[in-house]
Structures are given as C-alpha cells and as structure tokens.
A and B are shown apart, each in its own frame.
Chain A
Amino acid sequence: MPLIEMFSYGFVQRALLTGTLVAVLCSVLGVFLVLRRMSLIGDGLAHVTFGSAALALALKLYAASSLLVSLPIVLLSSLGILRLTEKARLNGDAAIGIVTSVGVAGGIIVASIGGGFNVDLLSYLFGNILSVTREEVYIAIVLFCVVMLLMVLFYNDLIAITLSEELSRVSGIRTRLISAVLVMLTALSVVLAMKLVGVMMITSLLIIPASSALQIARSFRSCVLIAALQGASSVLAGVYVSFVANLPTSASIVLINLLLFGLCCLARHLSTARRSS
C-alpha cells in the first residue's frame, strides 16, 4: 500500500501522532529511569494501570473517561513505590514487584466481581494503537505538553540526582521532590502509553530507546535526543510495517526498537574497535 494512501486514513493519523508523542515521552524519561536502575517501574505502573482499567470498566467508564480512574491510582502508586524504597528498607525492584502484584491482583479481583474478563480489558494487555480516538489524541497532546514542560523545568535537577543523590543534596537540590517528579511523570506517560502498546510491552518504550542511546551518545543532551528520535521513529516504522505486513502494531514497534538497539550496539562495538586499533 502506498504511503500517501495509508496516511489518508484518520485512524492512522491519530495513531502516528499519539504514538510519536508517547514514544518521545517514554524514551526521554527512560534515560533517567535506566540510569537510576528504575527501568522496571514502567512495568509495575503498567500493571497498576491494568488493575485501574478493570476498576474503570466495572464503573462503566470507557476510553478517555477511564483516565479519571487510572490517573490518580497510578500517580499514587508511583509515589507508593518511592515511599516503600525510602521507609520500608526495600530495594527499588522489590518495591516495584510489590506494587506490580497488587496491581494485577486488584485488576483480576475487580474483573472477576464484574463478571470476568472482556475484550476491553484485554486490549489493555496488548494495546491497540490503531483504535486511538480523537478525544485520546487531545489528552495525549495535553499530557505531552505538561510532561515536557516539567522535564524542561527540572532537566538539570534530574541529571544531577541521576549522577549522584548525595552530591545533589549538597548542592541544595531537593532530591525527594525531584525523584517524586520523575516517578509521577513516568506514571502519566505509562497511563498514556497503555492504549498503544499495552501492559506487556510498555517497558520496551521506556527501556529500549534509552538503552540504545546509551550505547552511542557522546553527551547527556545527545543521549536524550537519540532516545527520543529512536522512540518516535520506532512508532512511525512500526505502524507502517504492521499496516503493510498485517502484523500486530505494538509487537512491530517493539521489534523495530530491538533492531535499532542491535544497530546501536554494533555501532558502539565498531567505534570501540576503531579507537583501540
């Protein structure tokens, strides 16, 4: 199918726009999360979103309205993970594991009380970028602007606490506040990304573009830009490939990310070999 014809469909335009915005958000946040060894927080929060989606469906809130339930629950859970790591003497992965299991268990219980799983809830597991509504596009644009604005405002603080919390505290940076900002921005992005790639694959958007960028970046700024570029291009290419080859879109996005990660690893390997020869 020619590109022009593909782009003429409204649902493709919505998928590309929303997908690009969400991928850029996740990829940029991913750089900070991967470096702070909090990569799996996205997975944990995605499971909480799944649980909150079950609650939204039980309350007969569909599509964009389900965000009214999901957003506050996921935001509180993100702060809960931070609180657990600070107060319960747990490592981040254990705190994320606890929140993940609570999210899934809650979702299953609510779904079973509500009469079992249905198609809507399963769409949260695997995502469906091609079913994004106009309302969801507007929400994505607003959330993108909010998250990017906060990222810009806290950019240097985020780099500082990622390098060293101890040094940041001695620089007068309120490290707890900045950590809370980071997990809440992640929570917002995860809720948004659920529709696109679903619970199962949301981690890929947070981890793979950042991991690719870390292979080849020669400065922090370039790392953030490379991650954003990979995230956006993986969505564009993933939607195109899935459309042409009739493959699931979210899985195509993940595989393209993996391919780009492989290329970045190869580029790093070649550059190291050239430097040492």
Chain B
Amino acid sequence: MRPVVVATESLCCSYNGGMVLENISVTIGAGDYVGIVGPNGSGKSTLLKAILGLCELTAGRVSLFGSYLEAFSGWGRVGYLPQSLAILNPLFPATVAETVALGLLSRKSFPRRLNSADRERVDAMLERLGVQGLRNRLIGELSGGQQQRVFLARALVNDPELLILDEPTSALDPETRERFYRQIAEINALHGTTVLFVTHDMGVIGAHATKMLYLDKKMLFFGSFEEFCHSRDMSLLFGEQSQHIICHRH
C-alpha cells in the first residue's frame, strides 16, 4: 500500500461567518496527481491553504506525511506555488537565482546559510526548467509567465515529495500552459512526486491528472476522471448532457 502524503479529517473553514469548506475528508497517496476543480468561491484555494496551515480551521485536522500539521516540521518535503504572484512587489530587487535559492531554506536549520553546493543546485534547476538565461535578471522585471516558471523552480529546487500548485497557469498562454502541465506530469512520473493542483480547466485534469477532486464547499467527487465521467452522482449534478460534453471533449 502506498504511503499517505496528505490526509484531512472532517476539515471545516469559515471566513467572515460564512462556511468556505465543510467536512472535507480526503486521503492522497504518494505519487498521486490530483486536480482540484469547482466553481468560483467553492473553496479550492482555501483547501490548499488549509492543507499547508496557512488558514485557521474551524474544525478538523490535517496531516502531512503522517504528522499532524501542528507537529509537522518536514517543510523541505513540500513545494508550493501560490496563485497570487501578481502581488509580488515589482521593486523587489532579488535576482532569479536569489529567489530560487530561497526555496532551499526549508531544508536548512538556523542560521540558514546558503553555500556553493546550493548555488549549483539552483543553477541545475534553472537549467532543468529552461530559464537559465534569466539567472541574473531581477524577478520584478520578468513577465507573468516567466515569474511563474521561476517560482516553480523555487518550489522544485528542494526535490519536494509533495508539490502544491494553486492555479499555476493563470498567467500563461495555452501553449506554455500545456508545456507546463507536461513538465509537471514528467516530474510526477519520474520522481513519484505527489502533485495537488487547483485549476478551472477540466481538460487539464482529463489530460494529465490521475485523480480529480470536485469541490463546492463540500467534496462532491474524488476519484479518477474516468470514474467522474461514469458517475451517476455527477450526472445528477451536471445533467447527463453536460457531463457527456465535459468528458467527451477531453
């Protein structure tokens, strides 16, 4: 049996008095490539934040790699690419190499010093993602798509066992988006990295993910895309015709 990487138990989150997540219990195993979909405001990003301990839970618990979040210290095993890179201060004076190197701090203990081996690791990651030419550019000077790839390099530089991506391709054109997901699928296949990502695009899940989580404050579906396409519950939710269109298109 594959080890459990992420487990949530009856997770509930509320914001300004309104429930954002209700009773989410899900178990994600090592090597899973899970796409989270749902309508706007369905709690997709909140679920990722709850898993990472970035928002307060109203009820329930989260465990990563078998440890409850309160006691979890293995952050070096987790890579995270947030949705809101747009809030990055354009004046921030760090180079691409300096920004990616910050991803290595999670495996360091105090005082978190970086050495020449770390710099070589950063260079190797930049080369792997095809952004070595941006190495000495300031992060604030890059386009949205370039910044996205640099922050992906930052998330991957530690060779994480769990990669969490929140709408990672929102700033990318369709061609770059496809290349991005192929790259993630390759990382998932080659290294067994568990991937959890939020998207609005069902097609991406059909094409790349091994599992799909459909969320609308509650978890309405969790299983493979094929199971989703044949699910009676989903037929009732979407209507058979819409379900057929979604599944047939992809």
Contacts and interface: CB of A to CB of B under 8 A. Distances in A.
A160 B80 contact: no
User: What size tier do the contact residues of chain B reach?
Assistant: 20 to 34
A160 B105 CA distance: 9
Contacts of B78: 170
Interface stretch (B88-96, B197-205, B208-216): B88-96
B54 A35 contact: no
A154 B105 contact: no
Interface stretch (A21-29, A56-64, A213-221): A213-221
Nearest to A37: B89
Interface stretch (A96-104, A113-121, A161-169, A237-245): A161-169
A148 B112 CA distance: 16
B136 A220 contact: no
B102 A159 contact: yes
Interface in A29-57: 31, 35
Interface string A249-262: 00000000000000
Majority-rule SS of A interface residues: helix
B53 interface: yes
A220 B76 contact: no
Contacts of B114: 156
B155 to A, nearest CB: 9
Interface residues of A, number: 28
A167 B82 contact: yes
B102 A160 contact: yes
B94 to A, nearest CB: 4
A3 interface: no
A91 interface: no
B176 interface: no
Contact of B75 (A170, A217, A218, A219): A170
Interface string B95-121: 100110011011010111110000000
A162 B75 CA distance: 19
B172 interface: no
Interface of B: 52-54, 73, 75-76, 78, 80, 82, 88-89, 91-95, 98-99, 102-103, 105-106, 108, 110-114, 136, 138, 154
Interface of A: 31, 35, 152-154, 156-157, 159-160, 162-164, 166-167, 169-173, 213-214, 217-223
9 contacts: A157-B112, A159-B98, A164-B82, A166-B54, A169-B52, A170-B80, A170-B106, A173-B106, A219-B136
